[in-house]
Amino acid sequence: MRDPVFSGSTMAYHPFQAPRPLDFSISAFLAAAQPSFFPALALPPSALGKPPVESGLSGALGPPHHHIHATHLHGFKSMELEDAAKDNPKVTLEAKELWDQFHKIGTEMVITKSGRRMFPPFKVRVEGLDKKARYILLMDIVSADDCRYKFHNSSWMVAGKADPEMPKRMYIHPDSPATGEQWMAKPVTFHKLKLTNNISDKHGFTILNSMHKYQPRFHIVRANDLLKLPYSTFRTYVFPETVFTAVTAYQNDKITQLKIDNNPFAKGFRDTGNGRREKRKQLTIPTLRRFEDQCKAERDVGDSDTSSCDPVAGGETPPRVVRSPRGVSRACRGGKINADSDQEPEQLDVGSATTDSHAPSPTRFAQDRKEQLEKDSSLLVGVRSPKKDKAESQNRKESEAESPGGSDKEDAEVRHTDLSHFSTTQLQALALPGVHGQPFYSNLAAGQPLLLHQGQFTMTPGALSTMGMEHLLSSVSTAASLENSALVGQTAGGSCSFPLHLSQHILTSQGIQMPAFGAMFPYPYTYMAAAAAAASVLPGSAATASVSLSPFLSTTRSRLRFSPYQLPGSTTGLNSGWDPCRLSSRDPSPTPALEQQSQAARLVANHRTKATLRDSASELQSIQRLVSGLEGQRDSFPARTSPGGE
């Protein structure tokens, strides 16, 4: 309870701790982004959008199909439709049941200096892509809220405001670019992505703050060259059940047990009568074996490759889609707009993302989405309400009582509330920091500040960073959408699969932590691209104001925390890593945004406090996050950007 604002809050259903906050958080910022998205979306020919049905002011909205948005957007702004159409991607989360099991308890992911994989592994199945077109698939992990947590009395509770955001990195799937056919052939796994708390990480791992909540995101970009990524449309998918709290050591024994029971690498800790396992009673759940078995089965299929297991069976979750075409629009820029930011977490699970009612134009679209959601059963796959979760968890026969705050927490509430104080722009910033960076053009790190090949694009750093998150400002849907990317121009004609045959060379190993290999993509890069697009398309661009503050110099109330182990310069060797002190002052200040939830959801959440986080501290922190995301990114770039080794 470090946080002065939330101190005292305890557990489930507390105004400040609504159950299943994670979902909210995500949907919240997604919703916020949405508004700004529509205006710029292009409409693919094959778009089969439906007329908007539900209004989006308060937020409620079902995940819409992209094409729908595209259509509308088309009218708004003329976008390049060249290669639009022909695809209508649909993404489902693999091992959904397993994720759900963790989610109910409150997923925790260990982060270590050397980098730790995620478990369950983030794996998605993609459908509806243009077989011949080439795509780049990526994922990143963004803050779910701006709070710091603590696990107290068997439950998670807010413990203050979030620490300064670490430079986020966009992780490009190593097979990128590859044809839609290839991507759809089998689930796309991201087990090579590693999490770390080492701010000086040189491997390109995703740096997270311990005791903070995060949301993994998946992106699909139609582009045949990584160089085009910056100018391309990002279709973002978020699976609420994948939110997790980063920890350096497991806090909830239930999580530990679930990990042990399902992660083959932890088999050694299973209670097999070998006199191990003391603390945790064997909470082994029936679904247990399934995961591993599936993994093995999967490995044997086709030309196995990969590694981390991942259950194939079970429900797959249709995510919320956020799309950011280049030249995308930005939602209302201005300050903490918001308002009815409170929503019912429960509803969130219904799989719908809400749009900020305060956003520029999205309202009607929100309705559209909602309708879509209700119509498209696939969108609801894997979606479950908190109540259901509760019921399930209670049914579980665990020797240990269900930890009070175990499942269905509500820090989300906090986050949610917090978000409501940010403008759409701010939310973007909030999300974007985690939007790009991890493995990407390492050469960028190697020198060029922002590259974008001179002349092609000119903007002030501030403007760029602010607008860069355009692809976050997209429509939210769980189904597929038509191609609407505004690629800078196809290179070669066809759709050549790029695979690089990980089969033989790349696959197996997880994170060999060779920065040389990683495709590092510092935020700045994408930022610029998106920003450029946005700038050229939208009139009232969002905050272009540059704020001169770094997490270390201009903190109002937010505490800058660095564990003794992470203090800049005190960490591992080469100080070429991220150095907070070097954050420049040329960054835009994000603006507040609204969250959107289904009306039902908001009804439930109405009792929450809305003002708590509405202080300058919140804004400052957001800004700082953004700044670090932009500036820190560059500095943290691995010194070695060479490939070869492999």
Which positions lie near DNA, rule CB under 7 A? 110, 112-117, 119, 150-152, 159, 194, 197-198, 210-211, 247-251, 256, 259-260, 263-269, 274, 276, 278-280, 295-296, 299, 304-305, 307-309, 507-512, 563-566
Amino acid present at 636: S
Nearest distance, CB of residue 489 and its own copies, angstroms: 8
Interacting partner of 506 out of its own copies, DNA, none (Cβ under 5 to 8 A depending on kind): its own copies
| Residue given tokens 């997923």 in the structure block | 107
Kindly give the pairing relationship between strand 134-152 and strand 178-179.
antiparallel
Residue placing its CB nearer to its own copies in the complex, 29 or 205: 205
Interacting partner of 202 out of its own copies, DNA, none (Cβ under 5 to 8 A depending on kind): its own copies
Residue placing its CB nearer to DNA in the complex, 110 or 226: 110
Residue placing its CB nearer to DNA in the complex, 309 or 543: 309
Query: What angle separates helix 96-105 from helix 253-262, to the nearest 10 degrees?
Result: 160
Which one of 148, 192, 290, 416 is in contact with its own copies (CB under 8 A)?
192
Amino acid present at 525: Y
Residue placing its CB nearer to its own copies in the complex, 401 or 492: 492
Q: Are 31 and 21 a contacting pair, CB within 8 Å?
A: no
| Residue given tokens 């990114």 in the structure block | 633
Considering only residues 281-320, where is the footprint of its own copies by CB under 8 A? 302-307
| Token couple for 636 | 């943290």
CB proximity list for 404: less than 8 A, separation 6 or greater: 11, 12, 153, 154, 155
x/- track of binding to its own copies for residues 48-87 (CB under 8 A): ----------------------------------------
Does 634 participate in binding its own copies (rule CB under 8 A)? Answer: no
Does 185 participate in binding its own copies (rule CB under 8 A)? Answer: yes
Nearest distance, CB of residue 344 and DNA, angstroms: 28
Does 110 participate in binding its own copies (rule CB under 8 A)? Answer: no
Closest of 633, 528, 538, 526 to residue 221, by C-alpha: 526
Residues in the chain: 646
Which one of 273, 275, 564, 644 is in contact with its own copies (CB under 8 A)?
644
Residue placing its CB nearer to DNA in the complex, 213 or 280: 280
Considering only residues 498-537, where is the footprint of its own copies by CB under 8 A? 498-520
| Token couple for 231 | 């100018």
Does 488 participate in binding its own copies (rule CB under 8 A)? Answer: yes
Nearest distance, CB of residue 231 and its own copies, angstroms: 9
Nearest distance, CB of residue 299 and DNA, angstroms: 6
How many Å apart are CA 212 and CA 208, to the nearest integer?
8
What is the full DSSP assignment across 146-208?
EEEEEEETTEEEEEEEPPPPPPP--EE-TT-SEEHHHHHHS-EE-TT--EE--TT--S-PEE-
Residue placing its CB nearer to its own copies in the complex, 293 or 646: 646
Residue placing its CB nearer to DNA in the complex, 267 or 501: 267
Residue placing its CB nearer to DNA in the complex, 150 or 610: 150
What is the rounded radius of gyration, in angstroms, for the C-alpha atoms of the chain? 22
The H or E element containing residue 364 is helix 363-375
Q: Is 15 strand, coil or helix?
A: coil
Does 576 participate in binding its own copies (rule CB under 8 A)? Answer: no
Torsion of CA 148, 151, 157, 158, to 10 degrees: -20
x/- track of binding to its own copies for residues 436-465 (CB under 8 A): --xxxxxxx-x-x--xxxx-x---------
Count of alpha carbons within 13 Å of 411, Cβ hemisphere only? 33
Residue placing its CB nearer to DNA in the complex, 176 or 308: 308
